[in-house]
Amino acid sequence: MAQSAHNPQHAVVLSKVYLLIDCNNFFVSCERLFRPDLLKRPVLVLSNNDGCVIARSPEVKALGIKMGTPVFEIKDLLVRYRVVCFSSNFNLYLDISNRIMRLLESMVAEVLVYSVDEAFVVLRKVTPQEAFSQACRLKKAVERTIGIPVSIGVATSKTLAKIASHQAKTRPELQGVYALFDPAEQIHILHQLPVGEIWGIGRRLSEKLQALHINSAAQLYTADATALKQRFSITLWRTIQELRGNDEIKELPPEHQQHSIMWSRSFRDKLHTKEDLSSALCNFAAKAAQRLRELKLYTRLVTISIRTSYFTQDKQYHAALSVSFDYPTSDSRIILSAVTQLLSRIYRPGFAYAKAGIVLSDLTTTRTHQNDLFVPSLSRNDLLRSDNLMTLLDELNTRSGAKVFFGAQGKAPQQTSAGSDKRLLSPEYTTNFKEVPDLF
DNA sequence: TCTGGGGTCCTAGGACCC
DNA sequence: TCTGGGGTCCTAGGACCC
pLDDT digits (tens, 9 = 90+) for A155-201: 999 999 999 999 999 999 999 999 999 999 999 999 999 999 999 99
Footprint of strand C on the protein (CB under 7 A): A 114-118, 162, 198-206, 320, 322, 324
pLDDT value for A397: 78
Least Cα distance to A108 among A97, A117, A119, A116 occurs for A119
Looking at residue A170, what is its pLDDT? 95
CA angle A169, A112, A261 (to 5 degrees): 105
Q: pLDDT band at A241, cuts 50/70/90?
A: very high
Please report the pLDDT score of residue A86 as a whole number: 96
pLDDT tier at A327, thresholds 50, 70, 90: confident
Confidence band of A401 (pLDDT split at 50, 70, 90) = low
| pLDDT above 60 (res A376) | no
Same domain for A285 and A391, yes or no, is: yes
On whether both A98 and A4 belong to a single domain, the answer is: yes
**Average per-residue pLDDT in chain A?**
88
Q: Strand B: list positions under 7 Å from protein Cβ.
A: 1-11
Among residues A162, A181, A200, the one where a domain terminates is A181
For residues A46 and A168, membership in a common domain is answered with yes
Q: Is A165 within 8 Å of A20 (Cβ atoms)?
A: yes
Instruction: Judge whether A125 and A15 are in contact, CB under 8 Å.
Output: yes
Residues facing strand B, Cβ within 7 A: A 47-49, 51-52, 54, 67-68, 70, 72, 233-235, 253, 256, 258-266, 268, 291, 309, 311-312, 354-355, 357, 420
Return the CATH number at A113.
3.30.70.270
Alpha-carbon distances, residue A29 vs A23, A86, A149, A246 (angstroms): 8, 12, 7, 34
Q: Give the residue-averaged pLDDT of A237-260.
A: 78
Summarised one tens digit per residue, pLDDT across range A340-373 is: 999 998 999 999 999 999 999 999 888 765 444 4
Quick one: average pLDDT of A65-82?
A: 94
Query: Which are the contacts of A293, defined by CB distance < 8 A and separation ≥ 6?
Result: A330, A390, A391, A394
* A229 domain-assigned: no
In a domain? residue A34: yes
Q: Are residues A269 and A153 in the same domain?
A: no
- Residues A47, A155: one domain? yes
**CA–CA separation, A381 vs A164, rounded Å?**
56
The residue from A181, A204, A227 where one domain ends is: A181
* Closest nucleotide to A90 by C1' from CA: B5
Residues A300 and A165 in one domain: no
Whether residue A284 is found in the same domain as residue A174:
no
Q: Give tens-digit pLDDT for A125-163.
A: 999 999 999 999 999 999 999 999 999 999 999 999 999
- Nearest residue to nucleotide B1 when comparing alpha carbons to its C1'? A72
Domain contains A67? yes
A134 and A275 in one domain?
A: no
pLDDT of amino acid A5: 46
Of the residues A131, A153, A181, the one at which a domain ends: A181
Q: What's the pLDDT band for A378 if we cut at 50, 70, 90?
A: low
Q: For residues A309 and A311, what is the distance between their CA atoms, to the nearest angstrom?
A: 5
Instruction: Say if residue A271 is in the same domain as residue A173.
Output: no
Residue A362 resides in a domain: yes
* Number of domains present in the structure of chain A: 2
Q: How far is the CA of A147 from the C1' of B12 (A)?
A: 48
What positions of strand C are covered by protein, i.e. any atom < 7 Å from a CB?
Answer: 11-18
Parallel, antiparallel or unpaired: strands A150-155 and A177-179? parallel
Nearest nucleotide, C1' to the C-alpha of A354?
Answer: B3
Closest nucleotide (CA of A287 to C1')?
B6
Residue A192 maps to a domain: no
Rounded to whole angstroms, the distance from the CA of residue A33 to the C1' of nucleotide C16 is: 31
What is the nearest nucleotide to A208, using C1' and CA?
C15
Instruction: Specify if A221 maps to a domain.
Output: no
Same domain, A152 and A274: no
| Proportion of chain A above pLDDT 70, given as a percent | 87
Distance A197 CA to B14 C1' (A): 36
Same domain, yes or no, for A383 and A283?
A: yes
CA dihedral (A261, A266, A269, A274) in degrees, to 10, reads: 50
Residue A177 shares a structural domain with residue A75 = yes
Nucleotide nearest to A320 (CA to C1'): C12
Range of the domain at A345: 260-409
Residue nearest to nucleotide B3 (CA to C1'): A70
C-beta of residue A409 within 8 angstroms of C-beta of residue A335: no
- Domain for residue A424, yes or no? no
Task: Provide the CATH number for the domain around residue A277.
Answer: 3.30.1490.100
Question: Please, which pLDDT band fits residue A419 given cuts at 50, 70 and 90?
Answer: very low
What pLDDT score was predicted for residue A368?
62
Query: Quick check: is A207 in a domain?
Result: no
